[in-house]
Every structure is written in C-alpha cells, then in structure tokens.
Amino acid sequence: MKDENTFSSSFILSFHPFLEREYMVMDYLVGIIVGSDSDLPLIQETAIVLDELGIPFEITIGSAHRAPDLVAEYASKASERGIKVIIAAAGGAAHLPGVIASKTCLPVIGVPVDNSPLNGVDSLYSIVQMPGGVPVAAMAIGRAGARNAGIFAAQILALLDDSIAQRLLDFRRKNAESVANKAKKLSEIGLAKYIEENRKKDA
C-alpha cells in the first residue's frame, strides 16, 4: 500500500486509507486535507464515514502557514482532477479551510481540530468567521464535526447522484435502528446494568 502525502499539478497517487486499493485520480470525489499529521487521528472519523457511504476520497497534508504554495496548488487543481468537495481540517489559527476556499470554487467544509490550548474554540472562530464572498461550511469542534463533514460532503454529492442519495437514506435508517435498539435494551435490563455493560465494552 502506497502512502504519499505529496501532490503535483498533474497527478496524485493517494490511497484509500482503510481499504487496500488504489484509485485513479478521476475516481476521487472528495479531497481531504489536514494542516498537520497530528490531525490525522481526528480526520479518520471523516474517512470512516465516507468509506461507509462508498465515496472515494484522497487525503493529504498541507499547511496554510508552512507550505502555502503547496496548499494553493492543491486547491486550484482539485476541480481539474474531478474533486467535487474539499474537507479541510485544522487547529489553532486554522487558516487552512479559508485559504483553500480562496483558491477554488468547489464547496469547502472546515473541521476545527481540538488540539490547541483553547480546545478548538479558536479554530472554530477562525473557520466560521470567513469574510463575505468566500464561504466555508464550518462543522462542530472535534469528532462530531469530523463525522458530520463526511456526511455533509455526501449530502452535497447526493444532489446529483441518486446512488449516494440512497446510501445516505440507508445510513440514516441504520442510525435510527441503532438508537431504537439501545432504547429497547435499556428498558429490558435497566439503567445500572446498561451502564455497567457499556463500561465493560469500553474497557
């Protein structure tokens, strides 16, 4: 399995990180970019959702501050490679989503990473307070935001793809069934035993 976190204006050799297969460039629909390799554990939540929904994606690292030219190239060439949505995750000053949005007309989804002394609040403010004319869709801080970024990207793609729309409906149905099953189990075994079993499961 090839792991290349670099890109060129002509070709990207990215890979699907959870399935042992490679895609040609034009197969990718979603581009994921993180500001630091320390953000990868969080953005894994996004990748898991996209994988579950059967949406191929590329993933790379590019800092808006340490490698601005690389980020600009990635954003400006994404559409040519067939990318339809970009998800950008960053912590601290979190300029990455905004810089990406300034270099492409593709929809950009920003994920605030909760790895700063302010626990991601600074990142959220940076992403959500974009000036008029350069929008970024800001997700919640942390894991919930990372998962929602994948779902929101799928919802955008589903507007023009009925198969993705159907998989989204199935995804929602599965979530609803999971909640119903938990409620049923709680009513059957009671609060104390339910909590005890969950603790054992998490241990």
Q: What is the pLDDT of residue 27?
A: 83
pLDDT beneath 50: ranges in the chain: 1-24
Q: Mapping DSSP to helix (H, G, I), strand (E, B) and coil, where does residue 113 land?
A: coil
Q: Are residues 35 and 130 in the same domain?
A: yes
For 143-169, the pLDDT digits (tens) are: 999 999 999 999 999 999 999 999 999
Q: Is residue 165 part of a domain?
A: no
Q: Are residues 55 and 81 in the same domain?
A: yes
Q: Is residue 141 part of a domain?
A: yes
Tokens of 45: 């939540």
Strands 108-112 and 57-61 come out as unpaired
Q: Are residues 143 and 111 in the same domain?
A: yes
**Bridge partners, 109 (sequence order):** 87, 137
Q: Are residues 88 and 182 in the same domain?
A: no
Q: Are residues 37 and 110 in the same domain?
A: yes
Phi, psi dihedrals of residue 77, rounded to the nearest 5°: -100, -5
Instruction: Give the CATH number for residue 111.
Output: 3.40.50.1970
Q: Are residues 156 and 66 in the same domain?
A: yes
Tokens of 19: 């399935």
Q: Are residues 78 and 147 in the same domain?
A: yes
Domain count, the chain: 2
Q: What is the pLDDT of residue 201?
A: 84
Q: Is residue 128 part of a domain?
A: yes
Structural domain harbouring 190: 170-202
Q: Are residues 111 and 186 in the same domain?
A: no
Q: Are residues 98 and 138 in the same domain?
A: yes
Q: Are residues 54 and 81 in the same domain?
A: yes
Q: What is the pLDDT of residue 26?
A: 52
Q: Is residue 197 part of a domain?
A: yes
Q: Is residue 68 part of a domain?
A: yes
Q: Are residues 153 and 77 in the same domain?
A: yes
Q: Is residue 138 part of a domain?
A: yes
Q: What is the pLDDT of residue 200?
A: 86
Q: Is residue 6 part of a domain?
A: no
Residue-level length of the chain: 203
Q: Are residues 129 and 185 in the same domain?
A: no
Place of tokens 């590019």: 62
CA 93 to each of CA 96, 128, 130: distance values in angstroms, whole numbers, following the listed order = 9, 12, 13
Q: Is residue 5 part of a domain?
A: no
